[in-house]
Amino acid sequence: MKVSDIMSPNAICISDGASLKDAHHLMQTRNVRHLPVISETDGTLVGVLTHKKMIASVLSMLNKYGQGALDRKERYTPINTVMDKEFQHLAADEPLTVVVEYFIENKLGCLPVVDADKKVLGIVTSSDFIKLCRTLLQQQG
C-alpha cells in the first residue's frame, strides 16, 4: 500500500499571509487539527500548523495579555510566526510500511503529501492509519 491509498485528498490548507485568528476559525469550522500552510505567491507548502501549536499560542497570549486583548492579538499574529517551518512531507507513492514507522518513531499527528513542485496533494494523519487498521481488522474477521 502507498500513501495515496490512505491520504485525505483536498487537504484544508491556509495561506502564509493568514492570521492566527484565521487558522483558529478554520480549524473550528472545518473540524481539522492540522493545516498545511501554503505560500501566497506560488502555492507551495511552506509550513504546517497543528492544533496543539495553535492552542499553545492562544493560551500563551491569554496568559500574557488577558481575555480582553486575546481577539486582537490573534487577529494581528501572522500564521508564519506560529507555524512549524521545519517539517517533513510525503510523496503520494511512498510505501506505507516506511511511513508508519516514521509516524511511530517521531510521534507525528500528520504529514502533508506533496507533488514534485511542493504543491499539496493531500494529508496523512494518524486518524487515516486508524481507519486503515479498522478496515484491515474487519477484513480478518
Q: Over the stretch 37-80, which tens digit does the pLDDT of each residue have?
A: 999 999 999 999 999 999 999 999 999 999 889 989 999 999 99
Measured distance CA(27)–CA(51) in Å, rounded:
8
pTM for the model? 0.90
Gap between the Cα atoms of 126 and 51, Å rounded? 14
In single-letter form, the type of residue at position 65 comes to Y
Convert the pLDDT of each residue in 73-94 to its tens digit.
Answer: 999 999 999 999 998 999 999 9
As a whole number of angstroms, the distance between CA 99 and CA 42 comes to 27
Helix (H, G, I), strand (E, B) or coil at 14: strand
For residue 43, give the C-alpha cell.
502555492
The strand ranges marked E within 1-141 are 8-9, 14-15, 34-38, 45-50, 110-114, 120-125
| Cα–Cα distance, 34 to 55 (Å, whole number) | 12
